[in-house]
Chains A and B, each alone.
Chain A
Amino acid sequence: MTANLRVEQTSAEEQKPAYRVIGTTPIRHDGTDKVTGRALYGADIRLPGMLYGAVLRSPHAHARIKSIDTSQAEALPGVRAVVTSADLPDLESKIAELGEGSINQRYQSCNILARDKVLYFGHPVAAVAAADPHLAEEALALIQVDYDVLPPVLDVNQAMQADAPILLEDLYTDELGKKSEHPSNIASHSQTRLGDIEKGFAEAAVIVEREFTTSMVHQGYIEPQNATALYNQDGQLTIWCSTQGAFGVRDQVASILQIPISKIRVVPMEIGGGFGGKIGIYLEPIAALLSRRSGHRPVKMSMKRSDVFAATGPTSGSTIRVKMGADQQGRITAAQAVLAYEAGAYPGSFVGAGMGVIFAPYRIEHVRTDGYDVVVNKPRTAAYRAPGGTNAAFACEVVIDELCEKLGIDPIEFRLLNGVRQGDRRADGVVYDRIGCLETLQAAREHPHYRAPLEGPFRGRGVASGYWGNYGGMSSASASINPDGTISLVEGSVDIGGTRTSLAMQLAEGLGVPAEAVRPVVADTDQVGYTEGTYGSRTTFATGLAVYELSQILKNKLVEHAARLWEVEPDQVNFAEGIFTCADKQMTLQDFAPQLPEPVVASAAVHATKWGASFATHIVDVEVDPETGKVTILRYTACQDVGKAVYPNYVEGQIQGGVAQGVGWGLNEEYLYDEKGRLVNASWLDYRMPVSLDLPMIDTVLVEVPNPGHPYGVRGVGEVPIVPPPAALANAIYRAVGVRMNVLPMSPGRIVAAIQSRAVHVPEKD
């Protein structure tokens, strides 16, 4: 078994502080509840008088709803309520921010319960609440829906044709800021430019231009979406659900139901994975309507796995064309990309993020990217870990590998030569602050894995880099000193993977107490100030900033009280490592806490703007079976700039999990539709996510280039690790069997087909 490494990359100007708590590995505060089965997730809730809800979904990918007859379902004994889109307010078009992404609220309402048309297989049409879940399912079968079936549009290329069937009659292309004359499936065309692309390509000694296609893939969280709602007689709505952000749910429900946010309380239960897929809402407004309709009884809803696949946020399939040129020395002279992303049924893919990611690790003088957001008859896409990034990096990083091959330059040396650093400006206007792009490349180059011999037939090593911008935004938290010297921390960030502890550790560091002395609680929307969701790799950074503020406020208040006790001025009291000192007097926080003359509490709120971007470089060794096309991963090393690893075990875990998802995306996972647009692999047996037997240990190198925008140097770590894997695998597969894969997933059948048609893909030797 190999080990995980940490590499400190603090430069001379960046003094490396000594931490007591940051960088240690305490047992997570919610750990015991989670290993004993006691932690309460959304579907674990049971309320007195609770009913069970179920959703009727469209069997068609594209159809007009002529009529819905719910009378038979309503007449079934035990059925308490039936609702359709007629029970939802008919909303005007208005763009609503989801935090990570945005959506037109009218489209979101239609996505929750279809209004005039169904736009994908699995689109919700009606819902029932009944005394037990089986009865609710029986009632669904009694609802009669009369459809006028329309031809489906199933991929971006087809959707962009002038004569393609139109999904949304009110959708016009936003063509570089101008509205098109006719309705279209192309929601938008955007563009970024830097320098003079023609000049750049004229300077190139080698040009590679390739087209790539990737399939729609799902986030694959193990916990299905769920929501329980109680719409009380006084108009107060309480929702218990699995979400990445309780305030986001509150705001979206208020918009969809057109009720004031003050009437809604959202209680975030423990969440069984999200990866971007649990930011937008699905069941919450339906459960609320059913509760109101059923005589104000609580209604619990939970999706079936097949519904999760068919109707919740996959990420975009895409077609990406990349052209890059480099001079004889290996300097990239120009780069161009055209990206077309499937938005699913309603606009809002992450093509913009893809345009930012695609050439992000490289300083290039002449760049142009064009992005198209395209609606198709598939579920409305949602964020998925570094949304839009993995598709884009796959295309760019494979082209770079081909450039390296043609120029005879080592792929890491090539990337080091072209890698971005502080002050570099991208085509989309982003200017980098202190970043660790070069440091991750150096860590990869120096890693024993990169120099280890790889012997045997059909084996190959691949390298790829990746970028994700991360995010900051708004967070709130409060804290109070308990009489026993412990600190209660109340914060608004849903904990998906150990952030209670990574936040508690920042408070503990600030006060010089052990992590265990802080008791963190995730609050509901009535208990804490506004806090954006757990997305954009923001929680340990942005909510961490709020928590850091708390530690400073508490510290100042405690010092004032100590000064009063000792009858000195506050500046004569020193408070460090949990101990107050003044001349020969000394006491610990534990000694002092019971003597405090009044409660010591603090609250803090931040709007964090100086999040630091993340870079990663991955190395993978594979063996390909040329007969079956199966790819076996022999070794995997992920080097990543993590800023400062507050809770290193969990930082490694984020990287390993991101790699595993990237491997699944690269090798196996894809949505398969039949010609009528019906999803045919809506189960984990047929949608093949990696299992323990598919992966080796995943080695990580935590490169620590502190983010100057956070007192402890924290930068987001969760998303970038999914970006490089498909490209690294493609480059390794090429070295193993000589075929350049330009399609995701690189599933066994596709690899065999590529090997068999190798005549057109002869690898060029230098």
Chain B
Amino acid sequence: MSKKVLIQATINGEEVEFLAEPRQSLLEVLREGLSLTGAKEGCNNGNCGACNVILDGALVNSCLVLAVEIQGRSLTTIEGIAGPQGLHPIQQKFLEHAALQCGYCTPGFIVAAKALFDQNPNPTEQEVRYWLAGNLCRCTGYDKIVRAVLDAAQAIGKIPVEEI
């Protein structure tokens, strides 16, 4: 077993310190170490997007990032998407549109949609489908997910920025 490294990072707006082995993925440390189990393991090799997190503004698969790589960086996980006011509009629209069935892929999709809106607040259906092509869902056929994301973009457009 290799020596553990002390990592300091910002996770969902809070300063966090933890120990990680160099071989541990960020996903493993989030789930087994920090009890942030919202990021899911579907494949552990970057094919399914269920473990999506936002690292310094970029959408990444946390299974493909080593925990030691987040030293000094800022991370948003599904647990950090809802604000103090309640659910994020993306989460609310997922519920209204029945955009989830088993719910296992849902955190990854919501994090991905958040990252999309951060750079393209008003995407077309094709842009949504292209962006979400890194996320696998086996239950829904994507129809209601795409509708929820498009509707969330509309809803966010109507909310003053400081309230999101």
Residues of chain A touching chain B, judged by Cβ–Cβ distance below 8 Å, are 1, 25, 27-28, 30-32, 34-41, 43-44, 46, 133-135, 219-224, 270-275, 302, 304-305, 496-498, 649-650, 652-654, 656-661, 683-685, 689-693, 695, 697-698
CB atoms of B95 and A28 under 8 A apart: yes
Residue of B nearest to A661 (CB): B138
CB atoms of B95 and A37 under 8 A apart: no
Spot the interface stretch: B67-75, B140-148, B155-163: B140-148
- Selected from A27, A32, A223, A695, the residue in CB contact (under 8 A) with B142 is A695
B51-92 contacts to A, CB under 8 A, are 77-79, 81-82, 87, 91
Q: A223-B104, A496-B101 are in contact. Are A649 and B144 (CB under 8 A)?
A: yes
For the complex with contacts A133-B28, A221-B104, A683-B43, 15 further pairs of A-B residues with Cβ separation under 8 Å are A28-B95, A31-B94, A35-B106, A39-B103, A133-B32, A224-B41, A270-B103, A272-B103, A652-B144, A653-B101, A653-B141, A656-B140, A658-B141, A693-B133, A697-B147
- Selected from B31, B78, B102, the residue in CB contact (under 8 A) with A36 is B78
Contacts of A27 in B (CB 8 A): 95-96
CB atoms of B102 and A223 under 8 A apart: yes
Contacts of B41 in A (CB 8 A): 43, 224, 302
**In the docked arrangement, what's the CA distance between A38 and B80, Å?**
11
Q: A46-B35, A684-B136, A693-B133 are in contact. Are A37 and B107 (CB under 8 A)?
A: yes
Residue of A nearest to B139 (CB): A657
CB atoms of A31 and B95 under 8 A apart: yes
Contacts of A304 in B (CB 8 A): 44
Contacts of A271 in B (CB 8 A): 102, 104
**In the docked arrangement, what's the CA distance between A1 and B150, Å?**
11
- Selected from A40, A46, A222, the residue in CB contact (under 8 A) with B137 is A222
Scoring A30, A219, A498 by chain B CB atoms within 10 A of each residue's CB, the highest score goes to A498
Contact with A along B5-47 (1 / 0, CB 8 A): 0000000000000000101100010011001111111111101
The answer to whether the Cβ of B105 comes within 8 Å of any Cβ in the partner chain is: yes
CB atoms of B101 and A221 under 8 A apart: no
CB atoms of B40 and A222 under 8 A apart: yes
A291 to nearest B CB, angstroms? 18
A-B CB pair tally, cutoff 8 Å: 191
Contacts of A497 in B (CB 8 A): 101-102, 139
Residue of B nearest to A304 (CB): B44
| Chain B: interface residue total (CB-CB under 8 A) | 62
Contacts of B48 in A (CB 8 A): 222, 305, 684
Q: A1-B125, A25-B98, A35-B91 are in contact. Are A698 and B141 (CB under 8 A)?
A: yes
Scoring B23, B50, B107, B145 by chain A CB atoms within 10 A of each residue's CB, the highest score goes to B107
Q: A273-B138, A649-B144 are in contact. Are A36 and B101 (CB under 8 A)?
A: no
CB atoms of A657 and B129 under 8 A apart: no
Residues of chain B touching chain A, judged by Cβ–Cβ distance below 8 Å, are 1, 21, 23-24, 28, 31-32, 35-45, 47-48, 50, 77-79, 81-82, 87, 91, 94-98, 100-107, 110, 125, 128-130, 132-147
**In the docked arrangement, what's the CA distance between A28 and B144, Å?**
15
**In the docked arrangement, what's the CA distance between A70 and B39, Å?**
35
Residue of B nearest to A30 (CB): B103
**In the docked arrangement, what's the CA distance between A432 and B21, Å?**
62
Contacts of B45 in A (CB 8 A): 305, 683, 685
Can you give 10 contacting A-B residue pairs, CB < 8 Å? A32-B87, A38-B79, A133-B32, A222-B102, A650-B98, A653-B139, A660-B140, A683-B47, A692-B129, A692-B145
Contacts of B138 in A (CB 8 A): 219-222, 273, 275, 657, 660-661, 689
Q: A35-B110, A222-B42 are in contact. Are A657 and B82 (CB under 8 A)?
A: no
**In the docked arrangement, what's the CA distance between A342 and B43, Å?**
26
Contacts of A657 in B (CB 8 A): 101, 138-141
A493 to nearest B CB, angstroms? 14
CB atoms of A691 and B141 under 8 A apart: no
A31 to nearest B CB, angstroms? 4
- Selected from B21, B77, B94, B96, the residue in CB contact (under 8 A) with A37 is B77
CB atoms of A272 and B133 under 8 A apart: no
Residue of A nearest to B78 (CB): A37
Scoring A31, A43, A659, A684 by chain B CB atoms within 10 A of each residue's CB, the highest score goes to A31
Residue of B nearest to A40 (CB): B37
B103 to nearest A CB, angstroms? 3
CB atoms of B104 and A498 under 8 A apart: no
Residue of B nearest to A270 (CB): B103
CB atoms of A692 and B95 under 8 A apart: no
CB atoms of A222 and B105 under 8 A apart: yes
A668 to nearest B CB, angstroms? 13
Residue of B nearest to A4 (CB): B143
Contacts of A273 in B (CB 8 A): 101-102, 104, 138-139
Contacts of B37 in A (CB 8 A): 37, 40-41, 43-44
CB atoms of B142 and A37 under 8 A apart: no
Residue of A nearest to B39 (CB): A37
Contacts of A31 in B (CB 8 A): 94-95, 100
Scoring A44, A219, A222 by chain B CB atoms within 10 A of each residue's CB, the highest score goes to A222
CB atoms of B40 and A223 under 8 A apart: yes
- Selected from A25, A46, A693, the residue in CB contact (under 8 A) with B130 is A693
CB atoms of B139 and A684 under 8 A apart: no
Contacts of B79 in A (CB 8 A): 36-38
**In the docked arrangement, what's the CA distance between A649 and B98, Å?**
6
CB atoms of B42 and A653 under 8 A apart: no
Residue of B nearest to A663 (CB): B141
Q: Which 6 residue pairs across A and B have the least CB separation, nearest first? A: A37-B38, A272-B104, A660-B141, A34-B103, A497-B101, A656-B141
**In the docked arrangement, what's the CA distance between A25 and B96, Å?**
8
**In the docked arrangement, what's the CA distance between A176 and B8, Å?**
69
Residue of A nearest to B50 (CB): A222
Contacts of B87 in A (CB 8 A): 32, 35-36
CB atoms of B91 and A36 under 8 A apart: yes
CB atoms of A35 and B100 under 8 A apart: yes
CB atoms of A659 and B141 under 8 A apart: yes
A158 to nearest B CB, angstroms? 31
Residue of B nearest to A32 (CB): B87
Residue of B nearest to A45 (CB): B37
**In the docked arrangement, what's the CA distance between A35 and B149, Å?**
13
**In the docked arrangement, what's the CA distance between A274 and B138, Å?**
10
A222 to nearest B CB, angstroms? 4
**In the docked arrangement, what's the CA distance between A305 and B91, Å?**
27
CB atoms of B102 and A695 under 8 A apart: no
**In the docked arrangement, what's the CA distance between A650 and B138, Å?**
14
